[in-house]
Chain A
Amino acid sequence: MDGLIHQIVSGIASGGIYASVALALVMIYQATHHVNFAQGEMAMFSTYIALTLIQAGVPYWVAFIIVVPVSFLMGAVIQRVLMEPLAKAPVLASVGVFIGLLLVFNSIAGWIFTYTTKPFPTPFGEGKPLLNGFVSRHELGSTMITLVVLLSIWAFFRFTKLGLAMRAAAFNPVSSRLVGVPVDKMLALGWGLAAAIGAIAGMMVAPVVFLDPNMMAGVLLYAFAGALLGGITNPLGAVIGGFAVGIVENILGAYVVGTELKLSVALFIIVVVLVLKPAGLFGKTVVSRV
């Protein structure tokens, strides 16, 4: 029983990471109707920037506070320089850019930082597990950070004028311009936010999986599975899906299929969901009158 509780707690911790990345995927998906396959690699790159700063003697939280806006800027610049000109291009052009970005970030990271796996520090201390040994300090700390991030993003989109304008710009750019919303800026903001969320997820997962240029490959797949499970058109659904995938992955990994097949489970979830409920558990099938 204790083992099971421990697996669930770890599942929530990794689920939070998947939920964050799933949310980043959904944000880009709502604006572009494509899944940004490079989201994970962008996060990995941000994590390397953080490690470089920390190794240069910058305190962890200072590095954290530097990396988040830098990642935001990186996302916004990618939107302005690469995605903006492709706004009216065919679907495959955007997909091509996403795959291109994935490879570019991966190779540049490998070139600059080498492919050697590196440890990444946790800011929450290495001490004894807490709460009767059920949860490590890092699991508890990273879950807290993830929850704060998710809640802030939710509140931002739900309660602020800018958040509303960003949602509007993603759903209906033509009408948004007519009410005066600068749509291009909103899309760039969206990319920036997604990259910033990804960066935090990267820094939170790196102490667990260790940092190398392929660190986020698995995380992205789990996040993608979570987003599809919850519904890629529904941010809240994607977040719930991310947590669910984390818990299921941990329990199945520990008791049913073993760690070797954990990733296959994620892919299996994707396939099953797509077959049974293409819009996801909480997704809306958008019906439009013709």
Chain B
Amino acid sequence: MPTLLEVKALHGAYGESKVLHGLDFIVEEGGVTTLLGANGAGKTTTLRAISGMIKVSGEIIFAGERIDGLATEAVAKRGIAHVPDGRGTFMELTVEENLRLGSFLRNDKAGVASDMERVFDLFPKLKERLFQQAGTLSGGEQQMLAIGRALLLRPKLLLLDEPSFGLAPLIVRGIFETMGRIVRETKVSILVVEQNASLALAIADRAYLLETGRIVMSGAADDIRKDETLRRSYLGY
């Protein structure tokens, strides 16, 4: 499969403290790539680097063009939708307004309307709560809203930061099943960051393991899942 995103020698820091120490990885078109790693490994920082939210050095190439150094809104315009950690809900606005904001960059009204229907099809809960203030949604519903908002950008690449964080196992399973559906039914590629390795490996095609800002292992998700020693020593399950 062709490469959609290529990251080369990526270094990133929050002020003085360096978090990423030269990452290299790729995301292929039309699949799910996962970045695994413990708390503090640099997973969230990697996604923030791609979205232009922190200063970086190295190269980030998306759809054949350099995007490192671009402003966050410019990265979004290229077709990268980012579901941030904490879900980034617009708490004061309604569910409907949150979703409409997802389509801010688009002018094709008919396309937006059909994508909106598609989001309701994926997450029927959101339709029930359409005119409710988004801050009143449960954690799981807010995660659905965040994914729906990101899909309304009609992105080429969807960045998901710990979609399982703080949610009950049953809700998490539902969300991961829906993510599987999204990949199967649309052309979007997904880069998902997870602490829960078994969950992420189950839907991913390719996986990278991050440790203190370096990639220590990579491979096909199936191989990693089947290799017990690898799993035990690195992923702890």
Contact = CB atoms under 8 A, between A and B. Distances in A.
Interface of A: 161, 164-165, 167-168, 171-172, 174-183, 284, 286, 288
29 contacts: A161-B100, A161-B104, A164-B93, A164-B100, A167-B92, A167-B93, A168-B97, A172-B88, A172-B90, A174-B53, A174-B88, A175-B89, A175-B101, A177-B53, A177-B71, A177-B76, A178-B51, A178-B76, A178-B81, A178-B84, A178-B88, A179-B81, A179-B104, A180-B76, A180-B104, A181-B101, A181-B104, A284-B92, A286-B92
Contact-size category for B = 20 to 34
B76 A179 contact: yes
B84 A174 contact: yes
Interface in B92-129: 92-93, 97, 100-102, 104-105
Contacts of A161: 100, 104
A180 B101 CA distance: 9
B230 interface: no
B44 interface: no
Given A167-B92, A180-B105, 15 more contacts: A165-B104, A167-B93, A172-B89, A175-B89, A177-B72, A177-B73, A178-B72, A178-B84, A180-B73, A180-B76, A181-B73, A181-B104, A183-B73, A284-B92, A286-B92
- State the majority secondary structure of interface residues on B: loop
B91 interface: yes
A176 B92 CA distance: 13
Contact of B91 (A177, A178, A180, A288): A288
Contact of A179 (B53, B92, B105): B105
A179 B89 CA distance: 11
Interface in B114-154: 149, 153
Interface string B63-90: 0000000011100110001101000111
Which of B91, B93, B101, B149 is most buried by chain A, counting CB atoms within 10 A of its CB? B101
B84 A175 contact: yes
Nearest to B107: A161
